[in-house]
């Protein structure tokens, strides 16, 4: 349990223990307020049963000099007012304590969610390639909520309610030690019952719930993400049934957990009530004096508070057990991330001369090389076409140039400096156009600048990038210009227009290097020709690296690099390589 709490605190980050520990004094104050409220009720009932005992109470003795007269009715009236004030103060203390606790809880949710999302955003690209997107979304979306609300908050609730129970039982012990033993035993049983009977069950169900939630999210993403294909294939019913089966199993687990929590709650409540009734029965069978009546009032009030406390303790234990598998999974996953490099980043990396791949090798899995001893020099202003059969390592080579992957051996050098010395600086100098660009469900402006805060967007740079991508005519035809919303994944644009938006996005930061990764392979020949014409004016002004299959895309490149089985097989101009028979068949013939 301690290890799980530490894991949840680690997810929140520095200062988490201090923030949560700051709730302990408030919990103690709340417990004292509960005891004070019970004592006020006990004292008032005792005086109501025998007004002659009023003068024997220290509170009454200190109050008498302040009263206009000492008539029994006057004393009783002011004591009632005092008890009401004590109870109101008790409620105020509890409300303030709850507000402070919720401030810590929801602040922790935000901090944890930010840390988890940041960890994955900054994670090595190769690490993310091994993760399912649905699992990542689940960890980001649910990890913070579960870590805080089901684990850390449950511990706080458990401790707070346990302190209240201890305070009330302690008050009962001072009033009637023998009778209180039964109530104390029932309270301890209430605390142990869910841990003994439900602990393993809740943990096992938590594991299953986590797995089903991930599979359900994945199933929903798959069917909604490929809605067009699903509909045209007539597979709506199949995807629906697959998702529904997972949902049925998931909701069944939730139902079982809810029922077990309620059964344990009712069982614990029954133990406490039976113990209280037993005490009341014993006191009733005794001589019914003023002391007995006041004790009955005290036990009644204690029962009124102990039963809800026991219920909350039971629920907190169940929630904790359910949340532990989520926390362990997230903590173990993030523990695999390499630590961020210490100290300030190196000086900016520029590119004014040469980009060199110095005997670069790379493998995704040990013993299975994708690239082997690739040596290539790219001069500033060159346009390089990377061609080769499928699986030859073209995209991997592009990812190495982009700094997304780290070479297993060798280095990528920009003007003699390893780009990994300051990856952020190098990546600011590189523009990237993928095969399927991810367009935001936002305006043209936000999509080109790839920023959500309008204050960070330079409209002049946006228009310049759109002009270079030859989108001025398209922009003029849009109803709201730069403010036109493109829809999810750019659904309101054609395939060629989406790619041009991606080119404009890559040009917005005025990069020294542009990388096109199969950017035209999903387009028809006419659209590809138009897009290639949009790229041609950029050649010579910038260093351009094109990964492609079709000859029309790379024909005008100043140099082609042919890859086979992870090695450079040949380099040269397009016509030269065709005459030498070095061009891959799909690139040579189109």
CA 162 – CA 313 distance, rounded (Å)? 7
Residues 310-333: tens digit of each pLDDT: 777 777 877 888 788 888 888 888
The two structure tokens encoding residue 383: 């346009």
pLDDT of residue 357: 92
pLDDT of residue 379: 92
Mean pLDDT computed over 498-522: 83
DSSP 37-64: HHHHHHHHHHHHH-GGGGGGSHHHHHHG
* 221-225, 384-388, 520-524: segment of lowest average pLDDT: 520-524
pLDDT of residue 408: 92
Give the whole-number percent of the chain exceeding pLDDT 90.
7
Cβ proximity of 543 and 355 under 8 Å: yes
Instruction: Give the fold, CATH level 3, of 354-589.
Output: Rossmann fold (3.40.50)
pLDDT at 376 over 80: yes
Cβ proximity of 320 and 151 under 8 Å: yes
pLDDT band at 378 (very low <50, low <70, confident <90, very high): very high
* 171-175, 183-187, 248-252, 416-420: segment of lowest average pLDDT: 183-187
**Helical residues (DSSP H) of 336-458, grouped into ranges:** 394-402, 423-428, 444-449
CA 308 – CA 84 distance, rounded (Å)? 22
pLDDT of residue 414: 92
Question: In 10 A of CB 252, how many CB atoms?
Answer: 12
Domains 2-335 and 354-589 share a fold: no
Mean pLDDT computed over 200-206: 74
**Rounded to an integer, what is the distance from CA 405 to the centroid of its chain?**
24
pLDDT of residue 177: 66
**Rounded to an integer, what is the distance from CA 390 to the centroid of its chain?**
36
- Which of 470, 492, 491 lies closest to 480 in space, CA to CA? 492
Dihedral sign of CA atoms 312, 313, 318, 320 in order: positive
pLDDT of residue 82: 78
Could you tell me which residues come within 8 angstroms of residue 401 by beta carbon, excluding any fewer than 6 positions away? 355, 357, 412, 430, 513, 515, 545
pLDDT of residue 365: 87
Mean pLDDT computed over 418-434: 88
Cβ proximity of 539 and 558 under 8 Å: yes
CA 525 – CA 535 distance, rounded (Å)? 15
CATH for 2-335, among 1.25.40.10, 3.40.50.150, 1.20.1560.10, 3.40.50.1700? 1.20.1560.10
Residues 398-410: tens digit of each pLDDT: 999 988 899 999 9
Could you tell me which residues come within 8 angstroms of residue 24 by beta carbon, excluding any fewer than 6 positions away? 159
- What is the distance in angstroms between the CA of the first residue and the CA of the last residue of the chain? 62
pLDDT of residue 252: 84
The residue ranges of every structural domain in the chain are 2-335, 354-589
The two structure tokens encoding residue 193: 């019952």
pLDDT at 14 over 70: yes
Q: Kind of pairing, strands 383-387 and 543-547?
A: parallel
pLDDT of residue 590: 41
pLDDT at 38 over 80: no
pLDDT of residue 69: 64
pLDDT at 141 over 80: no
Mean pLDDT computed over 70-92: 76
Give the whole-number percent of the chain exceeding pLDDT 70.
74
Residues 513-570: tens digit of each pLDDT: 989 887 666 566 666 676 677 677 778 778 999 888 766 678 888 899 999 888 998 8
pTM over 0.75: no
CA 539 – CA 516 distance, rounded (Å)? 12
326 or 180, greater pLDDT: 326
pLDDT of residue 588: 45
pLDDT band at 289 (very low <50, low <70, confident <90, very high): low
Mean pLDDT computed over 81-95: 84
Cβ proximity of 162 and 314 under 8 Å: no
Mean pLDDT (the chain, rounded): 78
């Amino acid at each position: 349990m301690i290890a799980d709490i530490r894991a949840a605190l680690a997810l929140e980050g520095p200062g988490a223990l201090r923030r949560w520990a700051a709730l302990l004094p408030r919990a103690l104050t709340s417990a004292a307020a509960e005891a004070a409220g019970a004592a006020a009720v006990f004292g008032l009932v005792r005086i109501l049963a025998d007004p002659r005992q009023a003068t024997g109470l220290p509170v009454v003795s200190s109050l008498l000099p302040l009263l206009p007269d000492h008539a029994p009715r006057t004393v009783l009236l002011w004591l009632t007012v005092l008890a009401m004030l004590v109870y109101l103060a008790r409620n105020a203390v509890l409300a303030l304590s709850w507000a402070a606790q919720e401030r810590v809880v929801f602040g922790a949710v935000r901090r944890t969610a930010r840390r988890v999302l940041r960890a994955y955003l900054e994670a090595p690209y190769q690490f993310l390639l091994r993760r399912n997107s649905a699992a990542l979304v689940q960890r980001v979306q649910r990890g913070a909520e579960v870590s805080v609300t089901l684990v850390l908050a449950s511990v706080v609730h458990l401790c707070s309610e346990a302190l209240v129970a201890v305070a009330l039982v302690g008050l009962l012990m001072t009033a009637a030690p023998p009778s209180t033993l039964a109530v104390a035993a029932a309270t301890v049983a209430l605390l142990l019952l869910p841990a003994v009977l439900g602990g393993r069950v809740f943990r096992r169900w938590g594991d299953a719930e986590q797995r089903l939630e991930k599979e359900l999210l994945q199933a929903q993403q798959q069917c909604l993400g490929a809605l067009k294909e699903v509909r045209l294939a007539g597979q709506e019913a199949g995807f629906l049934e697959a998702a529904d089966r997972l949902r049925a199993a998931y909701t069944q687990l939730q139902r079982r957990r809810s029922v077990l929590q309620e059964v344990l709650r009712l069982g614990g409540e029954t133990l406490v009530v039976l113990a209280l009734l037993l005490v009341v029965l014993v006191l009733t069978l005794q001589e019914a004096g003023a002391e007995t009546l006041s004790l009955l009032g005290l036990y009644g009030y204690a029962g009124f508070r102990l039963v809800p406390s026991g219920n909350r303790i039971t629920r907190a234990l169940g929630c904790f057990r359910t949340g532990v598998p989520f926390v362990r999974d997230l903590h173990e996953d993030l523990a695999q991330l390499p630590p961020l490099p210490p100290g300030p980043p190196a000086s900016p990396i520029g590119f004014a001369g040469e980009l060199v791949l110095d005997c670069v090798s790379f493998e995704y899995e040990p013993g299975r090389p994708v690239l082997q001893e690739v040596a290539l020099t790219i001069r500033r202003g060159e346009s390089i076409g990377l061609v080769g059969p499928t699986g030859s390592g073209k995209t991997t080579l592009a990812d190495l140039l982009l700094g997304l992957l780290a070479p297993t051996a060798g280095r990528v050098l920009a003007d003699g400096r390893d780009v990994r010395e300051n990856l952020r600086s190098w990546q600011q100098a590189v523009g990237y156009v993928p095969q399927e660009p991810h367009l935001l469900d936002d305006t043209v402006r936000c999509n080109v600048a790839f920023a959500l805060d309008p204050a960070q967007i330079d409209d002049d740079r946006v228009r310049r990038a759109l002009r270079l991508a030859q989108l001025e005519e398209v922009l003029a035809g849009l109803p709201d210009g730069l403010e036109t919303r493109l829809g999810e994944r750019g659904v309101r644009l054609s395939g060629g227009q989406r790619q041009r938006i991606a080119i404009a996005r890559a040009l917005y930061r005025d990069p020294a290097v542009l990388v096109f990764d199969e950017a035209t392979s999903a387009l028809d020949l006419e659209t590809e020709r138009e897009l290639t014409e949009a790229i041609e004016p950029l050649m010579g002004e910038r260093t351009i690296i094109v990964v492609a299959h079709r000859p029309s895309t790379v024909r005008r490149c100043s140099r082609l690099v042919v890859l086979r089985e992870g090695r450079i097989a040949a380099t040269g101009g397009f016509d030269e390589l065709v005459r030498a028979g070095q061009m891959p068949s799909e690139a040579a013939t189109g």
